[in-house]
Amino acid sequence: MRELEIRFHVPPDSLQSLRQELSRHGARSTRMTAHYFDTPGDALGGRQVSLRLRKEGRRWFQTLKTERSSSVDRFEHNVALRVPSGTMPVLDIARHDGTEAGARLRAVLGGATAEALVERCTTDVTRLACQLQLPGVAVEAALDIGILRAGERQQPICELELEHQSGDIAAFFALARLWRRHGGLWLDARSKAMRGATLARDLSYGTPVKARAPALQRGMDGARLLRTAMRSTLDQVLGNASELAAGSFDQEHVHQLRVGVRRLRTVLRELAPLSEGLKPGWELALSDSFARLGAIRDDHTVAAAVRPLLERAGAPKLAWCPASLADDPGAIVRADSFQDTLLDLLSWALCEPDSAAPKRGPHEARRCLVERLSRLHRQVTRGGRRFEQLPEVEQHQVRKRLKRLRYLAELVGAMWANKATQRYLRCLSPAQDALGHHNDVAVAAAKFLADAQQDPRSLFAAGYLKAHEAVTARQAHAALAKVTRARRFWKD
């Protein structure tokens, strides 16, 4: 069975209004206790698989969930159990045999049995739930309040889950957008199982989510190709945004979120011709959040990147003072504009393409990809030939185009021979590193120059780094020359 579910973290100030609204729709309260299982090495969680035993009131269920097409769209198989009162049922993975979720579970376990699984965490919540019947869509709304435990450690649970039951998916997401307005609710891609696994490792926040290649197939038409690529990039964005919204200040979460946003913007910009319906406002909202997260990155990552240069040069000041307090990354991703854009993008990516809209068949879609890859490759190589002579703003443009070329190649490379794609990408990676270092030096030089207005000691660092740009520009030029000679995996 398909489970399409949106989860919102609920801040304390919004609890009362949510309770009242759910009660107005006839919500009933149920106590639920759940036990989540995994291997000692978290093999299930690492493959987006969740297995639990849950008691709902007096009834027990065994539930298996596996990822379907995105982190919010999963396969779910639920089995009602009959056990003597006062006892807990025994876990049995064979209960899910014959289902797509069960096949995935068997593949992940690789022949291991239930005896190889251990209880990783438990939850004890009170659920206030009701059915929402609206024109065109049926939804279950559930407010969970309780405790998540892993050994001696525990965390509070306070979340609103909206589960699509039937009807129009776009209407489901429109409803979710309205419920989010109860005050400060934000999308939380972390399931209870994921949070429990993090807690069991005695960590405050989860591992940063890195990019995964979309599951593209060569016979896909344009609309499905675009939606598949978008869902892949959204998973990376949602995973890291959730950790930052929950309070993480980890710079790797910031970095991976920015990578995810840039990949998502690449999809919106480069693959837009494959289907109708993309809204320009989505890219603009992502761009604003991306820039604000970039300012945070500058004050941490860029400063660390140039510090060894300044230490060797004997600079009297090794770091600039931020002009103002840096943005809180959590506040950036909890903002209404960012959250609403994510909901809009999820809705579009998970809806079926409009059957009445003009279609780009597999051949047309492939031709569009070739055109986009070729154009970016030409732009990068043209700028690379005279990189050292370009103004700084144009050098930065070459770097942005190189990133888009790499991300686009990573996203759609599965449409061609894998070895050829990987060979091409190996040529892009060193160039991206070289241009990234050159950009870091340029950004740091500008930051120190601005800081010198308050602290003259920064003038040394500003002047030294400005002069050093000639060295990094030469290194970037050499790296770009290899991109020019790279053998493309596609044919014009």
The CATH number of whichever domain residue 67 belongs to comes to: 2.40.320.10
Query: pLDDT tens for residues 319-376?
Result: 998 765 557 899 999 999 999 999 999 999 999 887 777 788 999 999 999 999 999 9
pLDDT of residue 323: 60
Q: Is residue 492 part of a domain?
A: no
pLDDT of residue 299: 85
**Residue 258: closest CA among 310, 216, 217, 295:** 295
Q: Is residue 68 part of a domain?
A: yes
In terms of domains, do 199 and 279 share one? no
Q: Is residue 244 part of a domain?
A: no
In terms of domains, do 169 and 268 share one? no
Residue with tokens 């399409």: 4
In terms of domains, do 135 and 278 share one? no
pLDDT of residue 325: 52
In terms of domains, do 50 and 138 share one? yes
SS3 237: helix
Query: pLDDT tens for residues 143-194?
Result: 999 999 999 999 999 999 999 999 999 999 999 999 998 878 999 999 999 9
Tokens of 479: 């790296």
pLDDT of residue 324: 56
In terms of domains, do 121 and 197 share one? yes
In terms of domains, do 271 and 168 share one? no
Tokens of 183: 């005050």
Q: Is residue 491 part of a domain?
A: no
The number of residues in the chain equals: 492
Q: What is the CA radius of gyration of the chain?
A: 25
DSSP state of 41: T
Q: Is residue 223 part of a domain?
A: no
Query: pLDDT tens for residues 90-113?
Result: 999 999 999 999 999 999 999 888
Residues of the chain with pLDDT under 70: 323-326, 492
In terms of domains, do 258 and 165 share one? no
pLDDT of residue 326: 56
Q: Is residue 22 part of a domain?
A: yes
Instruction: Tell me how many domains the chain contains.
Output: 2
In terms of domains, do 197 and 258 share one? no
Label residue 162 exposed, middle or buried (CB < 10 Å: 0-12, 13-18, 19+).
buried
Q: Roughly what angle, to the nearest 10 degrees, separates helices 458-485 and 303-313?
A: 120
Range of the domain at 91: 2-203
In terms of domains, do 361 and 278 share one? yes
Contact 7, 188 (CB under 8 A): yes
Q: Is residue 429 part of a domain?
A: yes
In terms of domains, do 174 and 280 share one? no
In terms of domains, do 264 and 190 share one? no
In terms of domains, do 195 and 279 share one? no
What is the CATH classification number for the domain harbouring 439? 1.40.20.10
Q: Is residue 161 part of a domain?
A: yes
